[in-house]
Structure formats: structure tokens, C-alpha cells
Structure 1
Amino acid sequence: MVLAAAVAVGAWYVIGSRATSSGPPTAADLAKTRYDLPQMTTNLAGGSVIQLSISLQASSDQAKGELELRKVEIQDAVNDILHSWKREDLDQPQGQEKLKGDIMKRVNELLHNGRVTQVYFPSIIVQ
């Protein structure tokens, strides 16, 4: 009888916690796992200059922590990517989205504890 009650309470807890945690994350939840890189200015292929801010949405607190620890590696990877891009590439209709995808792929190759789920450019200037 006690065992049956314990099983029932455990099942209620598991089902109840799934019900409350299902649904999209709130803005506050996302902000907790977002990592902002310092603003970057670098040369593009072809002689143009880009200045941008990058925010990386991590899949977990642990992934955000790893982003912080690998900041220099991430900045170096982003510089490598940007040096291969031309201004004309960014002027294409899907140019910035492709750049975000390239950055996400490269950063995820560096991570061992989670992944980046989204890349944002709060500001971007190309001259």
C-alpha cells in the first residue's frame, strides 16, 4: 500500500513537472543562457571593414559557461570567417542569415557541453 502511494506521488510529480515545463521558453529564460561577445571590428575580403556585435544563444547554462571560457577561440573563429567574406556576400538577401549559420556551425565545433541554438547581430555596420 505504501509502495503504491509512493509510485502514485512520483508519477504525479513527473507528469506535473512536465506539464509546467512544456511550452516555449520565456524571454527571461533565454536571457539567462545568452552570451554576448565583445564588439568586433575586422577586415572583410576585398578591403571592406565590418563592425558587429554578436549574441550567441546557448542551449544551457553549462553551454553558456563554456562560451565564456572559449571567448578568445570564438573571436578568432569569427575573425577567420569574416576574413573570407566580401561586402557583396553580406548585401545578398540571405547574406546575414548565411553568416549567422557559418558562425553557429564553427562555434558548435568548439563546444563540448551543449551548443549554440541561435546567433544574433544586435548591430552590424559594413563600410
Structure 2
Amino acid sequence: MFRNKMLNIVLILIIAVALLGIVGIVAYKTVFVPTAGNEEEKVPTAAELLKSQFDIGKMTTNLAGNALIQATFSIQGDSVDTMNELDKRKAQIKDIINSVLHTTTQADIEKPEGYQELKVRLVTEMNKVMLEGKVTDIYISDIVVQ
């Protein structure tokens, strides 16, 4: 390359240090710094879910048409603050559930996707009135439709 041996050694050392630096930076970014795409969503434990779950209890009301529904509702919120607000708005939440159920027919619920559509409608309507946090899910148990 060059006739001066010392210059050759210095150039080789500079190139080697630069390559080591680049390899080090790449290794650091891929191993030590997690990216948004690699983060796994944390699944809440049963105890965490229980802290942010609000029970409405058993409700009986008419559906659109001549049908009657009796079901137990539990609301899942995103925080403890949401639970406090749901407690304060319990009467309003019950009214929302009644309003949605009064516009739902028995056939709507009995469709394969009807149960899930009902849950989505309930969550959407509840979130319209929430100021502190939001409702993430609603669990309907002990459901009887006549």
C-alpha cells in the first residue's frame, strides 16, 4: 500500500477501531435497547383484574319485542380510578345497560356474533360518559333470555 510501514499500521488500527465501534453500536441497539415491536403486552394477573372490576349485579329487563332478559354484569376498567367513577355512576351505568337492552331483540343476541356485538355496544355507550379512565370490557354471566 504505502511505502511507510508506520503509516500502514496506523491506518489499519484506525479502520479496526472504526469497525469495532460500528459493531459495538449495532450490538448494543439490538441486544440492550428493546424496540416497540419486540415488547410483549403484559397480561394482567387475576388479582390485578379483580382490582379494576366493578360488579353491577343481576339485572332483569325487557328486550325489544316481547322477550325478557336476566343477566349479571361485571365491568372491567383500565384503572382503580375508573372503578371509583363507576361506583359514583352506578345508576347511570344501569340506565345505559337498560337502554341498550331495550333496543336489542332476542334474535340479535341469539346470532353467532350477537353476544359480542352487545358487549361492544355496552362498552361504547359506557365510555361516552366516563371522565376518569375507560371501560375495557364487560362480562355477562348467568344470562337467561325468554
Same fold (TM over 0.5): yes
Structure 1 alignment gaps of length 5 or more: 1-21
Match of 2:13 in 1: none
Cα distance in 2 for partners of 1:88, 1:23 equals 37
Please, what TM-score do these two structures have when normalized by structure 1?
A: 0.81
Identity of counterpart residues, as a percentage? 39
Q: CA deviation at 1:24?
A: 1.7
Structure 2 stretches of 5 or more lacking a match? 1-40
User: Residue 72 of structure 1 is aligned with which of 76, 91, 101?
Assistant: 91
Which residue of structure 1 lines up, in the alignment, with residue 127 of structure 2?
A: 108
Who is 1:122 aligned against? 141
The CA deviation at 1:38 is 2.1
Partner-residue secondary structure (3-state), 2:124: helix
Is the aligned partner of 1:55 residue 2:74?
yes
**CA positional deviation for 1:23:** 2.6
Quick one: distance in 1 between partners of 2:124 and 2:144?
22
8 Å Cα contact 2:65-2:105 kept in structure 1: yes
Q: Which has the larger radius of gyration?
A: 2
| Higher normalized contact order (CA 8 Å, seq sep 6+, divided by chain length) | 1
**1:42 paired to 2:42:** no
Confirm or deny that 1:93 pairs with 2:73.
no
What amino acid sits opposite 2:72 in the alignment?
S
Runs of 4+ more than 4 Å apart: none
